[in-house]
């Protein structure tokens, strides 16, 4: 994996200017932070659209969790290392001596700045392609630890100091060989969401997904 050729080499260089570099080089007027701001938004958009199309049945809560797993600092820093972005950073002597070239947060920020610069240089299509090749190609690895909806809901609820969600079957319809279950999930003894499935387990999962969507709205 490599950085695509830029039409404007100065724009590419700008993506690697850390703010500490400005203190020792007065001729430089701007760090890469504005490009990082732009790249962060573009990255979020591209990943969100990718997940939206890849998982048409997932509610907002699950999609948000998936996106968080993909664009977290550690994941972006891993990609930045693969691209050897740390070697290209323009840092102050102090920042370099402090390990700036291998700093996880700084590397993740640089990857976002590179995305911003690529967008300005070549537009959305080329940037989308780069994000897919450099980051989204690893989606299976990045999301392998994603929790199932029931576990995720329980984690979120318990983090708020509340008791674990309770699942109750509220209806069973149809013949034994084609029964349809509806399950309601309660949080703090209050009905929160419901889901339907061909088994109790599937209905509970659907209910948890619906509850996560409500949690995401809040």
Which residues form the domain of 79?
9-142
* Structural domain ending residue among the three candidates 119, 142, 165: 142
- Residue 111 and residue 153 in one domain: no
pLDDT in tens, 21-45: 888 887 777 899 999 999 999 999 9
pLDDT at 111: 97
Split at pLDDT 50, 70, 90, the class of 158 is: confident
Give the relative orientation of helices 104-122 and 73-82 as an angle to the nearest 10 degrees: 70
Asked whether residue 96 is assigned to any structural domain, the reply reads yes
Active site residue 40: yes
CATH number at residue 165: 3.30.160.20
Catalytic residue among 36, 40, 121, 184: 40
pLDDT at 217: 46
Rounded-to-integer distance, Cα 202 and Cα 54, Å:
20
Over residues 87-115, the pLDDT tens digits come to: 999 988 888 888 888 999 999 999 999 99
Integer Cα distance of 200 and 181 in angstroms? 6
Total Cβ atoms within 10 A of residue 155: 12
Please indicate, yes or no, if residue 3 is contained in any of the structural domains.
Answer: no
Angle at 182 between CA 179 and CA 183, to 5 degrees: 135
> Do residues 139 and 71 make contact, with C-beta atoms less than 8 angstroms apart?
no
Co-location of 108 and 154 in the same domain: no
1 lies in some domain: no
Residue 180 within a domain: yes
What is the pLDDT, as a whole number, of residue 218? 47
At residue 9, the pLDDT reads: 94
* CATH code (residue 85): 1.10.1520.10
Residues 105 and 196 grouped into a single domain: no
Same domain, 30 and 123: yes
Total domains, the chain: 2
Q: Which of 95, 109, 112, 204 is catalytic?
A: 112
Q: Are residues 197 and 93 in the same domain?
A: no
| Res 184: pLDDT | 95
Query: How distant, in Å, are the alpha carbons of 51, 166, 203 from that of 67?
Result: 8, 27, 25
In this prediction, what percent of the chain has a pLDDT beyond 90?
47
Q: What is the mean pLDDT of residues 189-200?
A: 88
- Domain-located, residue 74: yes
């Amino acid at each position: 994996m490599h950085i695509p050729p830029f039409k404007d080499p100065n724009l590419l260089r700008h993506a690697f200017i850390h703010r500490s570099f400005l203190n020792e080089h007065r001729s430089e007027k701007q760090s890469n932070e504005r490009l990082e701001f732009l790249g962060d938004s573009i990255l979020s958009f591209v990943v969100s659209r990718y997940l939206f199309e890849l998982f048409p049945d997932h509610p907002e809560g699950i999609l948000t969790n998936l996106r968080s797993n993909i664009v977290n600092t550690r994941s972006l820093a891993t990609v930045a290392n693969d691209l050897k972005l740390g070697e290209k950073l323009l840092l102050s002597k102090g920042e370099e001596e402090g390990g700036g070239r291998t700093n996880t947060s700084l590397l993740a920020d640089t990857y976002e700045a590179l995305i911003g610069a690529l967008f300005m240089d070549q537009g959305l299509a080329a940037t989308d392609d780069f994000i897919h090749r450099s980051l989204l190609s690893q989606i299976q690895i990045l999301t392998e630890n994603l929790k199932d909806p029931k576990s995720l809901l329980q984690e979120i609820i318990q983090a708020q100091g509340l008791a674990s969600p309770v699942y109750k079957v509220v209806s069973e319809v149809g013949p034994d060989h084609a029964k349809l279950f509806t399950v309601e999930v309660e949080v703090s003894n209050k009905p929160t969401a419901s889901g339907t499935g061909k088994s109790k387990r599937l209905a509970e999962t659907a209910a948890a997904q619906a509850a996560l969507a409500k949690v995401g709205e809040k």
